[in-house]
Amino acid sequence: MQEHEIIFEAFLEKQGLKYTKARKLILEIVFKLHEHFDVEYLYDLIHQVSKDVSRATVYRTIPLMVEAGLIQRSVRSESRDKYEHIYGHPRHSHWVCKNCGLVIETDIQDLMKLVQSEAKTQNFQIDEVNLTVRGICWKCRNNANESQ
């Protein structure tokens, strides 16, 4: 049994919830992914494996995985919420290109120090840190320059 399964099962147990077939499968597929994903994309993947899991159950399972600390809401794009692993993945920032949609990720070790010291002075319990920068990536900047 993999780490994330142990964590999820323990979480469910503690909440008096059941580690069902559907939840097992959803978790499994989520942890095979290594990109940002939205619910529709996830549902399609799951549906390829089993027709027995409904969209509603996928939607219902996501907040459970979030609460369990396994995934988090990431960049929202094309009007859909997107998610990504946090368990086993270093915290990072997102740099979104408004022009081509590219998403770059960078480490936020240094940032976290600032955030944590601020949290201390405010006595704020941090659950989730989200740094998103929007603008134009180097490629699109170059293209823009060339075409002048």
Q: Is residue 131 a contact residue for its own copies (CB under 8 A)? A: yes
74, 84 contact by CB (below 8 A): yes
* Selected binder of its own copies within 5, 95, 103, 105 (CB under 8 A): 95
Identify what 141 binds: Zn ion, DNA, its own copies, none; CB under 5 to 8 Å per kind: its own copies
Q: Which amino acid is at 79?
A: S
Residue closer to its own copies by CB (options 41, 95) is 95
By the criterion CB under 5 A, which residues form the site for Mn ion? Answer: 84, 105
Report how far residue 148's alpha carbon sits from residue 143's, in angstroms, rounded to the nearest whole number: 9
Q: Dig out the tokens for 67 from the structure.
A: 């609460």
d(CA 12, CA 64) in angstroms, rounded, equals 8
Task: Check: CB of residue 94 under 8 Å from CB of residue 132.
Answer: yes
> Does residue number 104 form part of the binding site for its own copies (CB under 8 A)?
yes
Smallest distance from its own copies to CB 104, Å: 7
45 C-beta neighbours (distance < 10 Å), count? 16
Choosing from 6, 17, 49, 126, the residue that interacts with its own copies (CB under 8 A) is 126
Q: Binder to its own copies among 2, 54, 132, 143 (CB under 8 A)?
A: 132
